[in-house]
Structure formats: structure tokens, C-alpha cells
A and B are shown apart, each in its own frame.
Chain A
């Protein structure tokens, strides 16, 4: 209901995406004033690159959360695809292109496996993705026990700098969001995703192919995790099997901040991306503030926890306490 701007009681309500966007604008303005180098292409590019990385992880999480699931393997999938990229993304143009395709297949395959465990195996998403995640990070560690590898620098340069002063990452994000948002709002498949998240039973009765659509949501999650894995490779030029853990929680926090309901059926990829940029701007603010560096991991954790707690505050406003035990 929030999408139309009219709440259940009929009063006009500001859409969540607008709130997130305003919050991001304020944080960004604050960041620019505190950042010693001010507003420059360099600062914008670094900010956008970091933001895009988390935004891709958040979109991966978004698809799974949308169908009322949760993906605890986002981090491991990013680590695995990053490691795979460090083995595949070098050589001639053709080889690199094939490598990118293979990495995407690896990610989508992992996502599909998650979906199969949940849909066909009927295992709760938490446990399925936790256990499969340990498999993915295990494979990543076996493929590359220590960070290293070779990533094509031409591709990296093309994706991590700017075009006439506009960071390439922002352009890429805009293209991705348009490509995702339109089918999500206009196609049968997109509406089915929202329907399943809102009410599984009603979706079954409507004739939506719930198993297939849910499976596709998990596969899309894996696909976007592979994009995040690829983009990490572009930024770091190495494959690191231990890069994953923080992305799982960060992706969940990003979608919550971006107005995606963990109970499914509500939210948009734009919201998830905004949530990711808000989180990254907060950690950039902390970096340039006077916090002792050793205290930063705690504050990052605390901000994630507060964000998630605030995102769940709606539960405190339910009219009957019984509603909370559905």
C-alpha cells in the first residue's frame, strides 16, 4: 500500500523511497562537508564504487526477501564469484567476456541451488542458505586458499572511473535499476514476486506458479550476488575467499533501511540501492570523523543493529498483541 502513497486509513503517506532518498541526501551533504577533498569527481567516484558494490548485494537480498525468504549465503556467494573471477577474468577480450559469463553462471547456479533447497527440499530459507553458504565459502577457500589471482585491468578501469565526470558506477547502477524496475512493475513475473511475498496462499489460488517464481527469485539473488562478486574483482583486482561475511548482514540491513519488509511483498530495488548507499555513506562519515579506528567495527555493527531494529518498529504499532504471533 505504501507504493501508492495512500495508507490504509486513507491519509496521504510519504512513500518510503522518498524518505530514504531524503535521508541519503542529508547524509551525503554532511559527508561532502566533512570530507577533506570536498565535492570532486574523485570523491564521487570512490563513494559511488563502494555504494554500487553494496547496492548489488542488497538487490540480491531484495529478490529473496521479496518472496518472504532470507539469504544468508549472499556473502559466501560474493566470495565464491569473486574467487571464480580471479581465475577467469584474464587474457584476450573473448576470454574475459567468457569469464564474465561463467562467473554469472556460477552465481546464478548457487542461487538456483538455494531455491531448490527451499522450494523442492522444503528446508526453511535460514538453514538452507546458512548450510549452502558454508559449502560456497568452502569451495571458495579450496579454489584460492589465500588472496590473489589476475583480473583484467582494462575492464576494471572502464567500470571503476568516470565518464565526463560522472562516475561509471552511478551510470551502471541507473541502467541496472531501470532494467530491473520496469519488468518488476510491468510484467506478470514481477507482480507474481510481490504477490507471493504478500500472500502465498492467495498466490496459489490466483494460479501463480509459486514454486517456479520462488525458484527464479532465488536464482536472481544469486545472479546479483555474482554481479557484486564481479564488481569486487574490478575494485580490488584480486580474488579473496574471506571477503564475504560482512556482506550478508550489510545486505540485510540495506534492504531494511531501504523500506523492504522482511515479511515479504513490500519494497523496490531502488529502495534497496538507496539503503546500501545510506549505509556506505554512514561508514564513510565515520571514517572521516574523529572516532578511533579500532572503535569503528563496533559502531558499524551498532548502526546495522539499530537500522534493523528501527525497520522492525512497525511491529510495535500493531493493534492487537495477537497479531504479533501469526
Chain B
């Protein structure tokens, strides 16, 4: 693929300015969206509204972090919707079971579930060499079956773990805890991508799996590791969603697949893998959240919102394409 022209880290000509191009564009776009919405309802410029957006952006952002890691490999994870729903249902049913021991392990169990789903995804892709979009779609179908069986197709019983409610809904010194959590997660992932061997492997694998294999790197283990990490982050996002909505419900993850991929792609991560900056994904998540919020303020139906996210992904990739071919 012609990723060579865009340089390894996705920083284009603006790299010399020390700023990533897509971050600047997204920042401007966010301001434009907010300004446009403010003409209709001035309330969107209030500090409280903006902080609330950061709270929701944190959920989208943590999900997008997982999606970005997989996309950096040049793969895709389509099991995100049911990873969210499945682990959310698992955690709420444990937390609401009335048994203190089970309630205590609700969050670790939810996260372990995400890790396990991710590992299954990774094993299918790395060992069986099944194309990721097909395998993760099949895993998604199996998870749907498991949640239907587990909940008997009814509204899942249980209660949200109190720690998740605290993290998703409360604020510390005025800043939403969810946003603080996202900053911590983001910093860890940024460190991993930039300063560790594993991070370098991720970019290298996205650039050329063949070259990395010839260089003697444990390619299979890296793929499984990245998918497992992505599953973990998806379940963390799902658990935050549980805290935010105060419940788990069927189909809660369905509407997150498109906006999350849109956030990553908008952030300048190449869909071919091997190039992308975390700062882009960060701003992408904020912009997508603002856009979704403004669209729902304008009472745009959900069908149309999903179309907007799909359209954004296409438009971004087409623009990217046009810029690369002189």
C-alpha cells in the first residue's frame, strides 16, 4: 500500500510545526460545530454542557483507543458492539447478585471478559489467519447468542457497580472522573506506542508484517496481544457506559461501532495500518461526541446520525486519498 508517502507516524508537512495536521483540523471543526449549535441554542457554550461532553467523549475515546490499536495493525474489530454489551451485562449481573464476593469481582470480571474476547479475536486472526473483519463479525454473532441465552432475551437484571457510577457520573474538582480516567488510559497507551518495543512492533506490523516476521519478532503474539488489549479497552468503555446509564441493556453497544471507527479515521490513523497518532484519535473522539450531541440537540433521528458517521468515514478516506495521489 502507498503508506510510505505519508511517513511512518502520520505526521505530514506540519510535523515541523510540532502539531499534527488532523488535530488542528479537528479542533477548528469542533469550534465550528459548537458555534453553529450556539446560534440555535446558546446553552451549548455553558461550562456545564462542555464538561458533560468531555464526560461522554471519555467513553467514546476509550473505545476509540482500542479500535485505534487494532486499526494500526491494518486490521479491524467488528466485535466491539457485543464486547460492550456482553461485558456490561456480566458486570451488572455480578454487581447486583446480592453476594458481596461476586459484587466485588464484578469490574475485574467484566474487564477479564473483554480481555478474553479480544484474545479469541486475536487467536483467530493470528493463528488461523482468518480475515479480521470476518472473524470478529463471527465472534460478535456468538457473543450475541451468549447474551440472549444468559438473559433469556429479557432486560438484563442487576445493578451497576458503584465504582463505575462514581467514575462515569461524578466529578472531582469540577472535572468529570470519566475524563480523568481517559487521560490516564490515554497517557498509558501513548507511552506504550511511543516508548516501548511493543509499541514499535505495532507500527511495524501495520507497515509490513512480512518484514517484521523476517526481523524475528513474535508476530502472532503481538497480534493476539493487541486484540486482547483492544477487547479490554472495549469492556472498560462498556463498564463506563453502564455507570453512565445506570444499567446494562440489550443492544447498548450497537450504536458505538460507526462513531468509534469514525473517530479513529478522522484522527488521521491510516486504515491500512502502520501510521497514526494518539492525539488525532483523542481529538477525533471529542469531535465525534460534539457532533453527535449537536445532532441530537437538533433532534436528528438515530438512523440519520449513523448515516452521518458513515458519510464522515467515507469523506475522510476519499480526501486522504485525493491528497496522497498528486
| A contacts, CB < 8 Å to B | 70, 72, 117, 121-124, 126-128, 130-135, 137-139, 141-142, 145, 246, 248-249, 252-253, 256, 262, 292, 294-302, 304-305, 308-309, 312-313, 315-316, 321-322, 324-326
Q: Is the CB of A141 within 8 A of B145?
A: no
CA of A258 to CA of B246, assembled, Å: 46
CA of A51 to CA of B54, assembled, Å: 49
A135 surroundings in chain B (CB, below 8 A): 307, 310-311
Q: Is the CB of A297 within 8 A of B144?
A: yes
Q: Is the CB of A301 within 8 A of B317?
A: no
A256 surroundings in chain B (CB, below 8 A): 134
DSSP majority for the B interface?
Answer: helix
Complex interface bits, B129-158 against A, C-beta within 8 A gives 1, otherwise 0:
111011101110111111011001100000
Q: Is the CB of B321 within 8 A of A305?
A: no
CA of A125 to CA of B219, assembled, Å: 24
The verdict on A137 contacting B306 (CB below 8 Å), with A128-B314, A253-B138 known, is yes
**A165: shortest Cβ distance to chain B, in Å?**
36
| B contacts, CB < 8 Å to A | 76, 78, 124, 128-131, 133-135, 137-139, 141-146, 148-149, 152-153, 209-210, 213-214, 219, 258, 261, 265, 271-272, 301-304, 306-307, 309-311, 313-314, 317-318, 321, 325
CA of A134 to CA of B130, assembled, Å: 24
CA of A117 to CA of B315, assembled, Å: 10
CA of A278 to CA of B148, assembled, Å: 24
Q: Is the CB of A308 within 8 A of B149?
A: no
CA of A253 to CA of B135, assembled, Å: 10
B310 surroundings in chain A (CB, below 8 A): 130-135, 138
DSSP majority for the A interface?
Answer: helix
Checking B143, B145, B301 against A299 with a beta-carbon cut-off of 8 angstroms, the contacting residue is B145
Most central of A139, A296, A324 by chain B CB within 10 Å: A324
Most central of B137, B141, B142, B148 by chain A CB within 10 Å: B141
CA of A142 to CA of B304, assembled, Å: 8
B153 surroundings in chain A (CB, below 8 A): 294
Q: Is the CB of A325 within 8 A of B148?
A: no
Checking B137, B149, B210, B311 against A322 with a beta-carbon cut-off of 8 angstroms, the contacting residue is B210
**B313: shortest Cβ distance to chain A, in Å?**
4
